[in-house]
Chain A
Amino acid sequence: MHSADTLRSRPTSCPAASADGGCADDQIAGDGYTCRFERGARPESLILNMGPQHPSTHGVLRVLLELDGEYIVRAEPVLGYLHRMHEKMAEVKNPAQFMPNMGRVDYLHALAWNWAYVGAVEKLAGIEIPERAEYLRVITCELNRISSHLLWWGAYLLDLGAFTPIMYAFDDREMLLDLLQLMTGSRLTYSSFRFGGVYTDASPAFVQGVRQFVPHLRSRLPMYTALVTENIILRRRIEEVGVIPPDMVTRYGASGPVARGSGIAYDVRRAEPYSVYDRFDYEIPTRAEQCSMARYMVRMAEIEQSLRIIEQAIDSLPEGEHMHPKAPKPSFKLPAGESYFAVEGARGKIGVWIASDGGKTPYRVKLRAPGFSNLALFAECARGTLLADAVAILGSLDMVIPEIDR
């Protein structure tokens, strides 16, 4: 860590220092981002780079911070370290060939991205889906949501300094991955939904496994509550920290548990029901507290709601085919036109927009990642908080950097 004075006295190697037209010695040495992140009014403030290798930024998020002592005067997330051109790749591959990419945008809730993309293609091409496949999509997607929330739970507590909870989370998550492996053939980067159905049919072993898993996880949730949620150290650490008022949520377009933690009961599954979600009885958990603890509680409640959906779906799983007999061949051409399909991911609203000119590959694909909007409000939300609280806020947003950068 350098003090502001050392930074100022260092010879600047930044081209922007003079090109900006600003005063050269009022610039901070460093790369382009740091140079443009000009020092604020306080001469004694300190510029600090959190990341891109900071453990609590989960990958390669970099946050530029201006600190006054331990307090954050300004925060600016710097993105793009994990940009992989997914949208451009969609323009050069036919729709079926793009499917593996959807498992890698958000690796924690890969099936939601699978679903958003197949949904958009199915909507555009008018492909029908058998009812059994819809149910299997719901079951696997909700299982995947739980696995994502469990991993977030473990990793968030890891950020806050509690090591062991992630071991409990991974113990349960491992059972989930075994189940999802039966359906998708992989354990993390799923590419299992297909245009007109799903890749594999549910085996009796899978149905049996899900029936066993639901009561098992339910019996573990009180333990999670007693071990972590009610732990006074955690409560003091995240309660009333990172308050996000509802108007900030709407201004930045945040969604998912971030919005629901601020009392906005917006869930795509309820707001614009897709697939067979309108047939299940479940609640949209919201909290009025607007703080990090509220977002934590929303996610824990969502695990329970997902279990409810899974239970109902597995009980009413219809017989039939898992692929529509008229499902297109991988080399099919998309008709000209455009479509948009949104699903509720573990982090919020996932949207895929496809524009096609009737060629072999889509003309343009836009991926709407919820993490991007959720992270955008961090700059405003973190202002005036303690540096340690900023970590608690960042974690409570549940970021997956590959999804934010795409």
Chain B
Amino acid sequence: MASIFRTIADLWSLVVGLAITGKEFCRPGVTVHYPRAEVTPESAASFRGPIELIGLDKEPAKPRCIACMLCVSACPSGCIAVTRAPAPKPTPEELKAIAEAEARGEKPKRPAPPKAPGTWTYDFSLCSLCGSCVEVCPVDSIGFSNDIYMVGTKREDFVFDQLARLARKAAARKAEPKPAAKPAPSAAPEAAPAPAASPSETGAATPASEA
């Protein structure tokens, strides 16, 4: 007799499970069906996307970077390559002054290279998004982007010329009709474009100057 009751109790657990399944079946879906729908920009805002350069407040196309190379040495995987901008070519007058100084046996004063990067290449395929570069940057020139929809068909698609990318983004922002925008020193809100923009963007970033 007891075994019959036990069996009924055991079978009842299956009915309970089915009832829960039935209840959950009537709940609205919780997943985002990606190509037809996307997650909200707010939910992606805190996500660390591939890093990007941040422009000066007054000149958004120019990075804040001072080419101090701290990020290059902090990176665990060596995915950042920065070169300093070359010194400007001396003007004819300066050349003359240099020649005169050399003739007098003095040390000529050549124009100093600017504190800015000449090239700034970032290999996203090596990056583990640890944030060491973002933390170490003394002028806050590196930030995480929100480009979470990124597609490429070859490795080189993920090697970004960050200077060109920054210029492109600044131009795109300039072209945008101005909303009553807050100053927004970080490029984060603009960095979440429609997914269709991303492949073309990565494609344009292909130059791979590291080669």
Chain B, 108-134, CB within 8 A of any chain A CB? 128-132
- CB-CB under 8 A from A226, the residues of chain B are 16-17, 20
Q: In the complex, which of the residues B73, B130, B144 contacts A331, with contact meaning CB atoms closer than 8 Å?
A: B73
B132 touches A185 (CB 8 A): no
Task: Give 22 pairs: A residue, B residue, CB < 8 Å, sorted on A.
Answer: A96-B74, A96-B132, A97-B74, A97-B76, A99-B130, A100-B77, A164-B21, A171-B30, A181-B46, A185-B48, A186-B47, A191-B128, A194-B135, A199-B131, A226-B16, A226-B17, A227-B16, A227-B20, A230-B16, A232-B13, A329-B136, A330-B74
Q: In the complex, which of the residues A104, A185, A223, A331 contacts B47, with contact meaning CB atoms closer than 8 Å?
A: A185
Chain A: residues with CB nearer than 8 A to chain B? 93, 96-101, 103-104, 164, 168, 171, 174, 178, 181-182, 185-187, 189, 191, 194, 199, 223, 226-228, 230-233, 329-331
- CB-CB under 8 A from B17, the residues of chain A are 226-228, 231
Beyond A93-B76, A191-B131, whether A178 also contacts B144 by CB under 8 A is: no
Contact with A along B89-117 (1 / 0, CB 8 A): 00000000000000000000000000000
* Chain A CB within 10 A, most for which of B13, B46, B74, B129: B46
Instruction: Give the CA-CA distance A189 to B130 in the complex, in Å.
Output: 9
- CB-CB under 8 A from B144, the residues of chain A are 185
Instruction: Give the CA-CA distance A93 to B77 in the complex, in Å.
Output: 9
A100 touches B47 (CB 8 A): no
Q: In the complex, which of the residues B11, B30, B128, B135 contacts A330, with contact meaning CB atoms closer than 8 Å?
A: B135
Q: How large is the interface on B (under 10, 10 to 19, 20 to 34, 35 or more residues)?
A: 20 to 34
Q: Count CB-based A-B contacts (< 8 Å).
A: 73
Instruction: Give the CA-CA distance A331 to B132 in the complex, in Å.
Output: 11
Q: Say how far B185's CB is from chain A's closest CB, in angstroms.
A: 18
> Is residue B153 contacting chain A, with contact meaning CB distance below 8 A?
no
Q: Dominant SS at the A interface? A: helix
A331 touches B74 (CB 8 A): yes
A230 touches B47 (CB 8 A): no
B16 touches A174 (CB 8 A): no
Instruction: Give the CA-CA distance A93 to B144 in the complex, in Å.
Output: 23
Chain B, 12-33, CB within 8 A of any chain A CB? 13-14, 16-17, 20-21, 24, 30
Kindly list the 8 A-B residue pairs having the minimum CB-CB distance in the complex, ordered from nearest. A97-B76, A185-B48, A232-B10, A100-B130, A100-B128, A191-B130, A227-B20, A330-B74
> Is residue B43 contacting chain A, with contact meaning CB distance below 8 A?
yes
The chain B residue with its CB closest to the CB of A199 is B131
Q: In the complex, which of the residues B14, B21, B74, B130 contacts A233, with contact meaning CB atoms closer than 8 Å?
A: B14
- CB-CB under 8 A from B77, the residues of chain A are 100
The chain B residue with its CB closest to the CB of A190 is B130
- CB-CB under 8 A from A100, the residues of chain B are 76-77, 128-130
Instruction: Give the CA-CA distance A170 to B76 in the complex, in Å.
Output: 32
Q: Say how far B155's CB is from chain A's closest CB, in angstroms.
A: 20
- CB-CB under 8 A from B10, the residues of chain A are 232
Q: Say how far B146's CB is from chain A's closest CB, in angstroms.
A: 11
